[in-house]
Structures are given as C-alpha cells and as structure tokens.
Structure 1
Amino acid sequence: MLLGVLAICLLGGCWSKVEIEQMAFISLVGVDRADKEDLLVSFQIVNPRALARGSGGGSGGGGEPPVFVLSVTARTVPDALAKLAEESPRVVRFKQLSAIVLGEDLARSGVGQVMDFFARHWEMRRSIWVLVAKKSAQDVLLKGAPVSERVPGMAIKMEMERRAILSPTRYPVALGDFLTGLAREGEDAIASSVEIGPMQEKKPGGSGGKEEGGDTKEKATTGMKELVFSGAGVFRGEKLVAFLGPQETRGVRWFKGKVPGGVLTVPVKTQGTWASLTTDREITRVKPVVTKTGIRYDVEIMDEGFI
C-alpha cells in the first residue's frame, strides 16, 4: 500500500498541458512603427477549420479564409502579445511561426528592442526567416496572397528554402544569422525584402476596363496581389539604411560565395539579341591587400555553365 502511494507521488503530471484544439497557431508576425512610441504588431493566425474542410480554392470550406490577421497597437511586442491573448479565446503559440516581417519605418528607426523579444522567447527557433517589407508589414500579411499555397507563412518558408540556383536575387536569412549580423562588430545584417505586387502584369497598351469578349478571369487575376521577393534590405547596426536591387543582391551573394548557380542574361552585340548563360558552379576568392592608404579587397569570381 505504501509503495503504491509513493509510486503515485512520483508520477509526472502534465499540469500545464493545452489541448491542440485550444491553441491558436501563428504563421506570420509583422511589426510596424505606429508612431514614435507605439508599435503596430500584426499576427497572421492559421484557421485549421477552413483548411480541414476542403483542399480546393483559396478561401477554404464554407467561404472561410485559411488565415486571419489580428493587429494590435502596443508599446512593446510582449504588450501586443498580451493584448492578443485577451482578444483570442485560444492559447497563442509560435511553434508554427514561419517568418517575421519588419516594416520599413520600424526598420529605419531601429529593430533592436523588437528583435530582443524574438531572441529571448522560448518558442522561437533560430531557423525562422526574417524579412524586411517595403513600406508596411501589415499590408504584406493582409493583402499578400501566395500563388499556389493557401497559407502565406508556408509559402514564404518554401520560397526562402528554395535552392539558390533558382532564386539568386533574394537574400534568405534565418533569425539566428540575422541576430548575429546585428550584434557582431564589423558585420552588417542583410535580409530579403518582400512587397506586394499584381499577380499578373497588365499587357502593354491594354485598357483598364473589360473589352468586348475579354477574359474576365484575366482581369480578376490582374487585380489580385501576391508576395514578391526581390532584393534585400541592408542594416547598419540595428537600423535599415538602404534596399538593394535584384542585381546588387546577386552581387552580394557572389561576394560571399552563396550563389551555386543561376541564369545570367547578357546582350549579344554582334547579333543584336540576348543570350542566357546557365551556371552550375561558382567559386569566389577574396584577397585583402594592405596599401599605404588603407585596405582594399581583390575579388575573383569564376562561374562555369552553358549557354
């Protein structure tokens, strides 16, 4: 009898357990500067009921969207999380968080305090992606629709994990590497930029309205917005100082030896046309040279491929 009582006392209990039906899984977090003192923090939460009802269409079964966005204004990210917990009937969890999107205004004013929260929170993985929005992070969460995925957070995760040979003009960076770039002396943090753009570009010379016999589906697609990844944001310390274009971003990746391949399109002057070089191997050599006026770097890049 005594042994039985002791055995019961030694049994581990799940005193803090939360059933999965009671959880709210956050897929994306966007942080903007609301004003000089407050933040605008947006949480994109997965709607499992909509995902479970059907596999077709972007709006899920019964017309429900696969995700919904809640935005709160607060002094800090923990304060925003507390306000979200008051509004949400479910327990908020970051275990499925795919990416953190930093708004341009916030990034230019400094991201140190915001990133400190993500660095310390116990559910944050160092493999979460960090992106910088051109303009508003809230717009990215609200208006950005992935082309083939129902959950935008999953689409961003897949885009960032694509082989560099397919997307050499963006700069994917994980949370751990981004924090290192912010903290390490002599190194500047870089993160891929994201914005929203038309899902289908208008045809040159096309009219804005519907023409006789025109394709209404094409017109509807043109009005939709998708997530566009091109270029990167460069930080000096904890502040964003500039955006790099696609070709500049490719140059940075070349310099760091992070372009295993890609497609280079160059003009052929003798034929008056263009040619594409598909590269499958890249070698970068960086040699520092000390001169009387300072230090310069000689960079040698060799690409191998085929036309």
Structure 2
Amino acid sequence: MTDQQYPIGTPGKPWGAEEKQQWLAAQEAKRSYFEDVVSQINTLHDRFDVEQYGALDYSNNTFPLFLVKTRQWDSTKPNILVTGGVHGYETSGVHGALAFVKQQAEHYSQWFNILVAPCISPWGYETINRWNPFAIDPNRSFKQDSPAGECAAIMDYLARHNLEFLMHIDLHETTDTDNSEFRPALAARDGTVNTNWNIPDGFYTVGNSEQPTPDFQKAIIDSVRKVTHIAPADENGKLIGAPIEQEGVIHYAGKQLGLCMGLTDAPYVSTTEVYPDSDNASPAECIDAQVAAVTGAIDYLRKHK
C-alpha cells in the first residue's frame, strides 16, 4: 500500500534546507536520555570500564556518548561488539544492550572481550526518531567521512584503538511507525513515492549478504524463539520487502548500504529486529529477546569458533 501525502514538502521534490528546518521544528523531546540511559550506565562503573567516546551538540543540549567494556581486556581473547540505539526510537535496542551488560557480560568475559555502545543516537532516543536533527539516517551513514556525527564518533573511536572484532550484533526494532511516519518521511525528504511494506509480527534478523553466516543467524533465531515468536514471511515470502533466506532471516549489504552492521570487518554480524507493537509481546519481552539474541550469538561462537 502507498502512504498519504507527508505534511512537509512538495510531492516529487526533494527537501531543501527550509523543509528540513520545518521538520526539525516539529520535533520535541518525549523522554530523557539522561534519566533513562545515562543513569543506568552510571551504575556500571564498579563492574565495568565506562568510557565517553564523544559528544553531540544538538538542540541546545550536549549528549555525551558512552561505551561499556568488560574489564581485564585480554589481547588473546576475541573481541565482541554490541551496539544499540542507532535508531534512537527503537527502545529495546537501547535497553536490551544495557540489560545484556547487566545480566550477562561478566559471565561471557571469561572467553571474550566485550564492548557495548548502548545508545548511538541519544537525540533520536529523546525525540523518538529514526533520523538525527539534520534529517540524516545514521543507519545509512556508516561510511568514510560520514555526514552523521553519531556514526563518525564510534567509527573514530574504533579506528583510534585499532580494534578488530570476531562478532558485531546491532540491536534494532521494526515498528508500526515505520509505515505511519518514517517511510513516508523518507519518501518526502527524497522526493520519491513511498510504498509501505508489511510490518512483520515477530522477531527476525538481517544478515550480511556480503558475508553470509546462515548457521550463526539460525543460532540467534533458535535462542530468541525461547523468549518470543519469530516473524513469519508475508504472502510474497518476504520480510520488509526482502526475500527470506531461512526462517526469520533476510539479508542486506551491510557496508554497501552504510549500515551499522558494516561498521567493522567482523566475520559474524547480525542486525536484530524486534516488533514491539505486537499484541503478543510486552516491552519486557522485547528486551529479553534482544538479550537472548546476543547470548545466542555468543554461545554459537563458543561452540564453533
């Protein structure tokens, strides 16, 4: 189905500076990054190394950017990266990353060095947005000379520390607002025509078509199905318009598209997608599903790598 006309811009004409400013003026904070996220990070100092890797100066506010690392970083152990909140509005991505740190990271640090960046896009978290204030989607901007400060900050940190990773898992959601707001806004911004996709009811993953890892993706799905339901394919055998590779798994080209999954050269990568608007899932269940995805991925590596 196609969407209604978006209230900003002229159909068929990409936005200029005036339209982007009009869009920005309509955004407002609906929740607090400092109360919801930073407060939780501040409780972790006695168990983990917490580093500020950058800051974003937006909308008369400065958002410090934090990552959490397991202690006794050991160069003989493989490194694992967990990211959340690349799209700030995807709540369980942020809180799933934090829950994994609090519940499981110390246990897995026996075998791995673990680095977690729980909220890449704090302005997006506060305003419940996919974009940053410049109408840029961070999850299409993990590229050299990125136009998104959210991406540049974490990319610069990893480059400075010359970190290599065995695994990177990026925690996301697919929500009803993808069709009601964010895809129509994207089409309006770019001067194109939007065709909405069917929103999958359940959990699925996006693997990297540039380096497929079917057994790894299956391990994530099998771990999550113990917590919540796996999204079925639509009537065309697809999820969000992409062909099904196996139950609950589709592929995107990570580096080519500038996705966060392409942030590193890790051979094992996955983007999780939880459906928080399901009648059959609670907010707590969505967070638990994200934790199960991370632990299922790590357990696979322990057994096979």
- Same fold? TM cut 0.5: no
Higher relative contact order (CA 8 A, sep 6+): 2
Q: Which has the larger radius of gyration?
A: 1
For the aligned pair, the TM-score class normalised by the smaller chain equals under 0.3
The structure with the greater share of residues assigned to strand is 1
